[in-house]
Amino acid sequence: MKTKKINVRFISDLHLNHEKIYSQRGFKTIDEMNEHIISSWNSIVKNEDKTIVLGDFSLNKNDFKFLNLLNGNIIWVLGNHDTPQKIETVLQLGLKNKIKISGAYEFFDKELQLKIICTHIPIHESCIERYDINIHGHIHNTTYLGEKYVNVSPESIGYNPLTLKELLNNNNK
């Protein structure tokens, strides 16, 4: 029997239902932004895939109902808007098989031979030497911080959770 390939994808700062951000992103309504983010996600993320969300899923603890609408499993790296109340809400929703929560996420990509740290806010330049790449969000635009930093804010990656290879190809353009 052939095993399905599990893709690992990255995105940050979804800010679902955030009243102050949808128009900055060029959407006419909050619903339009939410629907675009969810449909973009589900068009490429399969149920067996893992998506690492680098903080700021939503500003309102009641908006975690959207988690049930997203394909795949999620590693949620906490961001500056992610409060203990939001964590408690996610735990109460009974989603522990779908979502894992972390302050930062480190891994070694065997195929590409890269040591990677995933954080919400870019790590300080004095710490970057420990890693080959820092995948991060928080800055909401395409500001280039250097060759070891990869920004996965939706605005900078076209609202689609991307694989590491896709990110590295985009980062080199």
Residue 126 CA to residue 138 CA, distance in Å, equals 19
Q: Report the C-alpha gap between 88 and 91 in whole angstroms.
A: 5
Mean pLDDT, all residues of the chain: 90
Residue-range domain boundaries for the chain: 8-171
- Given a cut of 60, is residue 173 above it in pLDDT? no
User: What confidence tier does 113 reach under pLDDT thresholds 50, 70, 90?
Assistant: very high
Residue 54: pLDDT over 80: yes
Q: Mind listing the pLDDT tens digit for each residue in 16-34?
A: 999 889 999 999 999 999 9
pLDDT for 68: 86
Residue 23: its pLDDT value, please? 92
Q: Encode 61-92: b = buried (16+ Cβ within 10 Å), e = exposed.
A: bebbebbeebbbbbbbbbbebbeeebeebbee
For residue 10, name the pLDDT band (cuts at 50, 70, 90). very high
Q: Note the pLDDT of residue 117.
A: 97
Architecture of the CATH domain 8-171 = 4-Layer Sandwich (3.60)
State the Cα–Cα distance between residues 59 and 68, nearest whole angstrom: 17
- In the structure, what pLDDT confidence band is assigned to residue 142 with cuts at 50, 70 and 90? low
pLDDT at res. 1: 57
